[in-house]
Structure 1
Amino acid sequence: MGCFAFRSGKTRSKSQPPSGSGARSPPPPADALPAKSAPAASDSSGASSGGRRSKTSSSVSTPTTPTRSIQELSDERGAQRLRVFHLDELGSATNGFSRALKVGEGGFGSVYRAFFRSAAGGRVVLAVKRLNQRSLQGHKQWLAEVQFLGVLEHPNLVKLIGYCAVDSEASKHRLLVYEFMPNKSLDDHLFNRAYPPLSWRLRLQIMIGAARGLDYLHEGVPEVQVIYRDFKASNILLDAEFKPKLSDFGLAREGPTEGKTHVSTAVVGTHGYAAPDYIETGHLTAKSDVWSFGVVLYEILTGRRSLERSRPAEEQKLLGWVRRHPPDGAEFRAIMDPRLGGRYPLAAAREVARLADRCLGKNPKERPAMRDVVEDLERVLQMEPPPPPADKKGGGGDGRRPPSAKR
């Protein structure tokens, strides 16, 4: 985001630090925090090069042995990286949480475009997510976002700028402030006909970035493994250059500790994306995320959601439908998104489907590690020529809008 400072309103509400079991020390007040953005991710774990470690001679992923908890890391690092906002300044930045500035809504609550003044006097646009008072997810997921995103740093994870927590007799307010992602989500561009179709190349580039984000969570943080647990197209946000960033860490969990193979937990997530082994047993591993990634790979191939009740019965469940059109079959083309208009290399599309099938393997141990998924997708990307040069009207060949188009 660069260096910037924020103007507060004339009055300030008392802001509460995030707290959970074991919280030891609250963050300093907002005015004591540095205005500059957090430094780049350390190179010690390979995060500076996409969060990927060098590939070992074995194709089996070896997760980092956790040595500290997210709670401990958050207590140590979050106070230095996150700004404590005050409710009145967020209200001012969103024009009283105006519906005109509302850009999205989910289980947590509503998201608003917010305008602040930079230290240089210019305008900074951020996103403010406000907890719905009737939300069933509530404080626990708000706290998870603060703790995880106060620790994690990667080019393919959305940046959390700060938070606000205010308790009064009348109500409790929980808000999060993020970098603003002007191109919304992969879900919008795949399934909303109001948007022009994404090109084949851009779809691959988005999935490569998303895979790098997951790889960083699984293997890029020396002290702890993170399982995302809610990978889906609507949680892949797109910046001004269509670079993807994973968002919404309310369901994220720490991976298994030393000597354990999984985390036993209640089954949560989004129907159609959760791995069947996780649903059946409650055993959560990094390979649960790999399954979800395989589902989204088929979504970018087909332009269909994982579940669409409006389609004929035999086509409502995406994975059941594509299994009848295997990558090596003569009718494989039938599953490809018609909005691509046939503009994709067939051999490359088959390779992506094969990779998706490996991610969707019944045995979690046989699913690839995300670092291997990244390498496979990068190889597939090289199977097609670069996009043609822009025409005289300024349109590109990568499926994006021209720079002058209204977003």
Structure 2
Amino acid sequence: MRLLSKRNLLFVLCCFCLNLGVAIDTITSSQSIKDPGSIVSNGSAFKLGFFSPVNSTNRYIGIWYSNISVFTVVWVANRETPLNDSSGVLTISEDGNLVVLDGKKEILWSSNITNSVANSSAQLMDSGNLVLQEKTTGTIIWESFQHPCDTLLPNMKISTNIRTGNKVQLTSWQSPSNPSIGSFSANIQPLNLPQVFIWKYGSPYWRSGPWNKQVFIGIPTMDYQFQDGASLINDQEGTFSFSFTYVNGSLLHLAFNTHGNIEERFWDYEKEDWEVSLALQSGCDLYGNCGAFGSCNSQNTPICSCLQGFEPKNTEEWNRGNWTSGCVRRTQLQCERVNTSSEGSKMDGFLKLNMMKVPDFADWSHYLEADCRQQCLENCSCIAYAYDTGIGCMSWTRSLIDAQKFSSAGVDLYVRLAYSDLVTKKDMKKIVTITVIIGTVSILICTYLLWRWIAKHKARKKKDKEILLFNRGEAHKTLPSDNLNQVKVQELPLFNFEKLASATNNFHLSNKLGQGGFGSVYKGKLSDGQEIAVKRLSRTSAQGFEEFMNEAVVISKLQHRNLVRLLGCCVEGEERMLIYEYMPNKSLDAFLFGMEIVEFRQHCSINRPDDI
């Protein structure tokens, strides 16, 4: 009996736990949620229950993430009718609607399905969708995804039906403490090319730019995580809807903050916080901030400027920073003039603007890129065109509103201008400035090269003259006056370069005796068998022709038992060499000693050889 009782008890506990498991994500007429109770989705991703916003004591029924550390509400039921105490109940009413009751059993909020069924239940899905369905057939009769608040979750859709006008849109909270409907809303604008618009009190506040089958081209920061999973669909019933899916297991959603900005939120599991990217990055993102035919660039100061070929409509307002009046065309288009046959009249052209957010009110066609330009050129009403491979040909016949210059992404926009406006005064000023700079630099370079050529030519003539005088035995004419009566250079023998090259085996390294700042000394042997030492002046030596001549003169007159005798010299082209007698048997020290005396004499300006 005891064993049977234990088995019965275990069976009862299992049934109880099973019932709890069934009810953990479900609400029925008999299984309600009483404040502060809650239910959790089957995969534990979301929780449904009562909560109070920050700095508020009001109670609301909402859905929030249950598996992250930051409390983040994604949907609110009774956002316009809060509870002021903890007596609230979420249950299924007798007519099958999902309702929120206060302590007096009065309905504060309802799913408000007119064709509801009595046998229904509500289930919180792991996608964050609260679904009201008929129990027997499982038919969905209401879902929270069709009634979003300020958050777009994966697989949730915002949509607009062009036939009925019905919209599924996001609406901002009044404040972080008040989830009631705020000043901003976001939905799909399907006219011409579908775009997402943010509206403030019903007026355009921001737009995404057209959809190109991957991204909205007016959002250069649209994250890659949305590109593969995002889609904009036009069904056969005339409904345009935008949605996205999870990519690579990322936890993400789009949230509409109280300031009217859409936030792309990605959960960072390492930081345990949301990474946020804003759709509106600067004042340039505000719709039409620079008026008609104005262009906005957040990198400039001021951020607004008129498109090339246009000027402010109201200069005073424009200079004060009020750009809403926009700009007007400076020169009438040639195709708009009554008399177009005047002599000298030139055709209109297109100004290319790179990396642009295309203006609003674009018309769309199937034309290829080359045909897109031609059809716009042939239609005088066409004032601009652009082409995107994912969209096709876009053209504009109305004022260009909400154009923006991006630092990356965007498309090329071609604006129609009169021929005279294709090159502006600013461009002409740049051209003139660049031309002057280039001309000045060219003149300076030419002047420098001419000066170098003249200097080199003079130096060569002087050198040739010195060599000529030397060969004639008149080198004394180029020497300082102190040496004129001391030497007769014509008595110094001249050696042929080819003979010296032959004697030293083309100045082979094996014949090298030594090296200094002046150059190198080589051992050689003349054809008659006489051994010589050749001092070959380096071309990079600091010793000039005059110093070389002085050394030749001085050494030729020196006679000392410790000095080698100078036999002659060689001056041909740029070659300068002195030929000494070669004294074997440790005579190199004496040779180098004699060289040091000469260099010392030159540095000390001792011009009289008898002074040594």
- Indicate the structure (1 or 2) with the bigger Cα radius of gyration: 2
**Structure with higher helix content:** 1
Q: Which has the higher contact order (CA 8 A, sep 6+)?
A: 1
Shared topology, TM-score over 0.5? Answer: no
Q: Could you tell me the TM-score, scaled by structure 2's length?
A: 0.20
Q: Could you tell me the TM-score, scaled by structure 1's length?
A: 0.30
